[in-house]
C-alpha cells in the first residue's frame, strides 16, 4: 500500500491586486505563488525581476584575498587554481582561470583524480606544486576541510586562499584567506552560493565588474550542484542562461550538438544534458577533459572532446544501471530485516557513480542510503551517501565520526572513507541513531502546489507558468495534482522498456521516467491520482501539453471497467495468476476458476468474466475478494437490456394469434407473427417458451399447438419469465450502469465497507 502522504499547500495571504497588475500575474501563477507564500513586493520582485547581485567585497576576507592575488600578479608569482572533479568544480576553475588571465596572472590549474587522490586538497599535489614554483594556491569548490594540507602548504612557503561553499567544520584551516558565504566571522547576505558562485564573486572583485561572459559557467555549476535556486543564485542562473543562449561557448556548443540538442538552453538543458555529461568525466576518469572542453576555442578540438565526454556519459549510465541492480538485491534484504538506514557495500563498484546509485535507492525507498566500494588492496571502503528531508546525513555521520576515516557533506548528501572492518558497526550505529531521532514510520511527504482539473492543463497556462522560471532546488517546477482521472492507455517506452507512457482521459499524455516496471499495476481503466509537472511537447509543429509524473497514487482496491469492451482487449485473460469468476453453467478450466457464490482469497487479481445468475451470489463472491486489481467484464451470450421485457399487450396479442389456428408452423408463419407482434425472433421464442411453461401451448420443434385452459394464468409465475426479469435487472445494475453508479452500488453492498 502506498504510504506517501500528499498535502496541497494552503495559502496564508493573497497577492494584492496592485501587485497582480504590476507583475502581470495570471490566475494559475497566482495560485502557485500564493501556495508558496510568495505574496509581498520583495518576494515577487525576486521572482520576476531577479537583479540583486551583492557586492563581492561584503564577503569576509575578500579584500585580503584580492590584495594577495594582485601582489602575485605584480610579482609574476605562479598561481595554481585547485579545483574539483564535478560540474561545479570544473566551472569554478574555468571562471577563476579566465578572470586571472584577464589581469595578467601567471596561472595554471589542477583537478585531483577522484580515484587516486580523492576529493579536496591533496598533500602530494600541493608538494608537487611547490616543487614547480607555485607560491599561491587558490582552491575552488573545496578546501574548507583541508586543515592538514593547508598546514603543509604553509610549511612549504605557499599561501592558500580557500574559496568553498561546503559544510564548515568546528575549526577553520589556517589559510591566508577563506572566502565562504557562511564564514563564521562574516555577514554575507546570501548563504547558498555554489562553489562556482564563490569563484565568480572573487572574479568580479578582481576585475571590478560583473564579467557577464562568465555567467553561463556560473549557471551550469549552480544548477548542477543542486544548491538553493533562490536569492542571488536565482539572479546568477537567470542571467547565466541568457548569456549561454546569446553566446554559447564553443565547447558547450559542440557538447549540445553531440547530444542532438536544438533549441533554447534552459535550466533543464543544464540539469539533464550538460551537467550529467560534465560530471560523467570525473566520475569515471580524470576530469581535466571536462575542464578543457569548457575553455577550448578551437571548433575541431571541441568536436573531438565532446565525443569523448559523451562516450563517458554513455558508459556512466551502463555502470550505474549494473551497480543499482546489484545493490537493490541487498537493499531488499536489509529492509526485510528491519533496517531503515541503508548501507550496502561491494568490491568492484565504481566509486565515481555511487552517489547516483545512492540517490536511486533513496528515491525508491525513501530511506537514507550509503553505497560503498570495498578496496581490499588498500583496506578501506569509500563511497557516497544520500538522505531524505527527515534525516540529516551530516549529523548522522558526525555522530559516528570515530568509525570514519574522512567524510564531508551536508544535510542531504555526503562522501566518506572508512576501514572495511567498520562497515557493519557503522550500519548498526546509523540505524540506532535514526531510531533514536525518529519515532515511528518514515513517511514520504509530497507537497502539492495546486490541485488542477483537466481543463486547467492548456498551452496558455503552461506558457504562463514558464514565466516563473528558472526552477530548481527550493524553487522547483510547480507540482500539480490531477485527482481521480482514468488511464485510457498505458505502455512501456524507451530502451529496455524503462519508462512509462500513459494517456489520461484520452487527452493528456503523461510520462514517468524509470518506472516502466509499474505498468502491470496500472491497467487501462485504472482510476488514479497523479502529481507531476507540466511542459509542452512539440511534434511536427503540433504543440500539446504533457505531464511529467512524479508520483502516482491508487486506491488499495483498483476496480477496472471492461464491460462492453471488445474481446480483443481482454489481454489480461491470459494471466495465469488471476482468479476467474464464471457463470455456474460454465465448466471450470482449472483451480483458478470460481463459480458465483464461491469465496475467493489470496489473489492479487480477480476477473469477473461472466454475468452472474444471481445478484446475491455476485455480492457474496465480491465481498470475499481481497485483491488489489478487480476487472469487470460481465460477458453474456445474449444481452437483453435493449430488447427489454415484452409488454403484457404483446403477450395478449401473441395469444390471440395462436388461438386463431389449432396449429402453427413457425417456419412458414413465424414471419407473420414477428410482423404482427413487432418483436425480434429471440423475443418471440422467449414468449412462446413462457406460454409453453404455463401450459397455454405445446411447443414441439417448430410446431405450436394451442391448449385450452380453464383458469387465468399469471406471467410472473413462469420461471422463464422470472429468469429474464432477473437478467434484465442484473444487466441494468452491473452491465449498463455508469461505472461510478456501478461502484457506488457494489461498495454500498460490500459487507466490509
CA atoms of 647 and 625, how far apart (whole Å): 39
Cβ(32)–Cβ(449) below 8 Å: yes
Cβ(299)–Cβ(101) below 8 Å: no
Domain 447-554's class? mainly beta
Cell numbers for 200: 565568480
Q: At what angle do helices 41-48 and 231-246 cross, to 10 degrees?
A: 20
Strands 593-595 and 579-582: parallel
Task: Say which DSSP state 724 is in.
Answer: H
Closest CA to 179 of 156, 203, 199: 199
Chain length of the chain: 753
Q: At what angle do helices 354-365 and 299-336 cross, to 10 degrees?
A: 50
Sheet with 663-665, strands from edge to edge, namely: 663-665, 703-706, 697-700
- Give the pLDDT confidence of 153-164 residue by residue, as tens digits: 999 999 999 999
**Cβ count near 72 (within 10 Å):** 21
Computed from CA positions of residues 694, 695, 697, 703, in that sequence, does the dihedral angle turn out positive or negative? positive
CA atoms of 148 and 144, how far apart (whole Å): 11
Cis-peptide, bond into residue 470, ω within 30° of zero: yes
**Which pLDDT does position 572 carry in this prediction?**
58
Coil, helix or strand for 187?
coil
Task: Say which DSSP state 467 is in.
Answer: G
**Which pLDDT does position 1 carry in this prediction?**
41
Coil, helix or strand for 396?
helix
Assigned CATH for 338-437: 3.10.310.30
Assigned CATH for 56-210: 3.90.1640.30
Cβ(190)–Cβ(232) below 8 Å: yes
CA atoms of 191 and 182, how far apart (whole Å): 6
Task: Please give the helix or strand (H or E) that residue 665 lies within, else none.
Answer: strand 663-665
**Which pLDDT does position 574 carry in this prediction?**
67
Domain segments of the chain as ranges? 7-45, 56-210, 338-437, 447-554, 559-640+736-748, 648-728
Compute the half-sphere exposure of residue 745: CA atoms within 13 Å on the CB side of its CA: 16
Task: Say which DSSP state 140 is in.
Answer: E
DSSP state letters, 253-297: HHHHHHTT--S---HHHIIIIIHHHHHHHHHHS-THHHHHHHH--
Strands 380-386 and 579-582: unpaired
pLDDT beneath 70: ranges in the chain: 1-3, 556, 568-575, 750-753
Residues contacting residue 501 through CB under 8 Å, at least 6 positions apart: 489, 490, 491, 492, 493, 509, 510, 511
**Which pLDDT does position 710 carry in this prediction?**
80
- Please report, for residues 686, 687, 712, 722, the alpha-carbon distance to residue 696 in angstroms, rounded to integers and kept in the order given: 14, 11, 10, 17
For residue 529, what are the β-bridge partners?
A: 553
Which architecture does CATH list for 648-728?
Orthogonal Bundle (1.10)
Alpha helices in 132-182 (DSSP H): 147-155
Cβ(138)–Cβ(161) below 8 Å: yes
Three-state secondary structure along 214-231? HHHHHHHHHHHCCCCCCH
Distance separating the N- and C-terminal Cα atoms of the chain: 18
Closest CA to 86 of 238, 181, 195: 195
Cβ(691)–Cβ(673) below 8 Å: no
**Which pLDDT does position 133 carry in this prediction?**
98
Cell numbers for 39: 505574496
**Which pLDDT does position 568 carry in this prediction?**
64
Coil, helix or strand for 709?
coil
Closest CA to 530 of 1, 6, 3, 54: 6
Task: Please give the helix or strand (H or E) that residue 719 lies within, else none.
Answer: helix 719-730
**Which pLDDT does position 749 carry in this prediction?**
78
Residues contacting residue 53 through CB under 8 Å, at least 6 positions apart: 210, 232, 235, 236
Residue tagged 491508487 (cell numbers):
554
Cell numbers for 739: 461505472
CA atoms of 703 and 290, how far apart (whole Å): 93
Coil, helix or strand for 236?
helix
**Cβ count near 104 (within 10 Å):** 10
- Give the pLDDT confidence of 335-391 residue by residue, as tens digits: 999 999 999 999 999 999 999 999 999 999 999 999 999 999 999 999 999 999 999
Compute the half-sphere exposure of residue 425: CA atoms within 13 Å on the CB side of its CA: 11
Residue tagged 518514515 (cell numbers):
442
Amino acid at each position: 500500500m502506498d504510504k506517501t502522504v500528499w498535502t496541497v499547500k494552503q495559502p496564508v495571504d493573497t497577492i494584492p491586486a496592485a501587485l497582480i497588475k504590476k507583475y502581470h500575474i495570471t490566475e494559475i501563477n497566482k495560485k502557485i505563488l500564493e501556495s508558496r507564500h510568495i505574496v509581498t513586493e520583495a518576494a515577487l520582485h525576486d521572482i520576476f525581476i531577479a537583479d540583486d547581485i551583492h557586492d563581492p567585497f561584503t564577503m569576509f576576507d575578500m579584500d585580503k584575498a584580492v590584495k594577495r592575488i594582485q601582489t602575485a600578479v605584480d610579482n609574476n608569482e605562479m598561481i595554481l587554481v585547485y579545483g574539483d572533479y564535478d560540474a561545479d568544480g570544473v566551472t569554478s576553475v574555468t571562471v577563476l582561470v579566465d578572470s586571472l588571465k584577464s589581469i595578467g596572472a601567471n596561472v595554471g590549474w589542477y583537478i585531483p583524480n577522484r580515484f587516486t587522490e580523492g576529493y579536496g586538497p591533496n598533500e602530494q599535489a600541493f608538494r608537487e606544486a611547490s616543487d614547480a614554483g607555485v607560491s599561491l594556491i587558490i582552491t575552488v569548490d573545496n578546501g574548507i576541510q583541508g586543515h592538514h594540507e593547508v598546514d603543509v602548504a604553509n610549511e612549504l612557503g605557499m599561501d592558500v586562499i580557500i574559496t568553498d561553499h561546503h559544510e564548515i567544520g568546528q575549526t577553520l584551516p589556517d589559510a591566508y584567506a577563506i572566502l565562504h558565504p557562511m564564514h563564521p566571522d562574516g555577514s554575507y547576505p546570501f548563504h547558498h552560493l555554489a562553489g562556482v558562485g564563490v569563484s565568480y564573486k572573487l572574479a568580479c572583485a578582481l576585475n571590478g565588474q560583473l564579467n557577464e561572459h562568465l555567467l553561463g559557467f556560473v549557471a551550469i555549476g549552480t544548477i548542477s550542484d543542486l544548491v538553493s535556486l533562490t536569492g542571488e543564485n536565482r539572479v546568477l542562473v537567470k542571467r547565466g542562461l541568457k548569456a549561454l543562449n546569446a553566446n554559447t561557448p564553443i565547447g558547450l556548443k559542440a557538447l549540445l550538438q553531440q547530444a542532438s540538442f536544438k533549441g533554447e538552453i534552459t535550466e533543464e538543458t543544464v540539469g539533464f544534458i550538460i551537467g550529467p555529461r560534465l560530471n560523467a568525466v570525473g566520475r569515471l576518469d580524470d576530469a581535466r577533459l571536462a575542464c578543457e572542453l569548457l575553455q577550448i576555442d578551437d571548433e575541431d578540438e571541441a568536436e573531438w572532446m565532446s565525443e569523448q565526454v559523451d562516450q563517458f556519459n554513455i558508459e556512466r549510465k551502463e555502470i550505474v544501471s549494473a551497480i543499482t541492480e546489484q545493490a537493490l538485491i541487498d537493499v531488499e534484504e536489509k529492509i526485510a530485516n528491519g533496517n531503515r538506514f541503508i548501507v550496502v557495500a561491494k568490491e568492484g563498484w565504481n566509486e565515481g557513480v555511487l552517489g547516483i546509485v545512492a540517490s536511486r535507492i533513496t528515491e525508491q525507498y525513501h530511506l537514507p542510503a550509503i553505497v560503498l566500494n570495498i578496496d581490499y588492496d588498500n583496506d578501506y571502503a569509500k563511497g557516497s551517501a544520500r538522505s531524505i528531508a527527515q534525516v540529516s546525513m551530516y549529523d548522522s555521520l558526525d555522530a559516528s565520526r570515530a568509525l570514519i576515516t574522512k567524510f564531508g557533506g551536508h544535510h542531504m548528501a555526503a562522501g566518506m572513507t572508512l576501514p572495511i572492518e567498520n562497515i557493519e558497526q557503522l550500519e548498526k550505529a546509523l540505524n540506532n541513531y535514526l531510531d533514536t531521532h525518529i519515532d515511528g514510520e518514515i513517511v514520504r511527504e509530497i507537497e502539492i502546489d495546486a490541485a488542477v482539473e483537466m481543463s486547467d492543463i492548456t498551452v496558455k497556462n503552461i506558457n504562463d507558468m514558464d514565466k516563473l522560471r528558472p526552477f530548481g532546488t527550493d524553487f522547483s517546477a510547480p507540482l500539480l495534482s490531477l485527482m481521480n482521472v482514468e488511464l485510457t492507455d498505458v505502455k512501456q517506452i524507451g530502451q529496455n522498456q524503462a519508462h512509462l507512457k500513459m494517456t489520461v482521459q484520452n487527452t493528456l499524455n503523461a510520462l514517468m521516467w524509470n518506472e516502466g516496471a509499474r505498468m502491470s499495476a496500472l491497467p487501462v481503466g485504472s482510476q488514479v491520482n497523479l502529481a507531476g509537472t507540466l511542459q509542452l511537447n512539440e511534434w511536427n509543429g503540433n504543440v500539446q501539453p504533457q505531464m511529467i509524473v512524479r508520483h502516482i497514487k491508487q486506491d488499495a482496491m483498483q476496480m477496472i471497467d471492461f464491460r462492453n469492451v471488445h474481446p480483443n482487449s481482454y489481454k489480461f485473460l491470459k494471466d495465469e495468476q488471476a482468479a476467474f469468476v464464471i457463470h455456474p453453467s460454465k465448466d471450470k478450466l482449472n483451480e483458478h476458476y470460481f463459480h458465483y457464490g464461491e469465496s475467493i482469497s489470496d489473489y492479487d487479481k480477480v476477473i469477473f468474466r461472466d454475468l452472474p445468475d444471481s445478484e446475491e451470489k455476485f455480492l457474496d463472491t465480491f465481498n470475499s475478494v481481497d485483491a488489489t486489481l478487480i476487472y469487470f467484464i460481465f460477458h453474456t451470450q445474449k444481452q437483453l437490456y435493449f430488447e427489454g421485457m415484452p409488454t403484457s399487450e404483446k403477450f395478449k396479442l401473441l395469444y390471440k394469434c395462436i388461438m386463431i389456428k389449432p396449429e402453427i408452423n413457425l417456419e412458414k408463419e413465424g414471419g407473420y407473427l414477428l410482423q404482427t407482434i413487432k418483436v425480434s425472433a429471440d423475443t418471440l421464442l422467449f414468449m412462446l417458451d413462457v406460454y409453453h411453461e404455463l401450459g397455454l401451448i405445446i411447443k414441439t420443434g417448430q410446431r405450436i399447438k394451442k391448449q385450452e385452459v380453464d383458469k387465468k394464468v399469471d406471467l410472473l409465475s413462469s420461471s422463464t419469465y422470472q429468469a429474464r426479469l432477473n437478467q434484465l435487472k442484473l444487466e441494468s445494475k452491473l452491465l449498463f450502469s455508469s461505472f461510478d453508479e456501478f461502484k457506488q452500488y457494489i461498495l454500498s453492498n460490500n459487507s466490509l465497507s
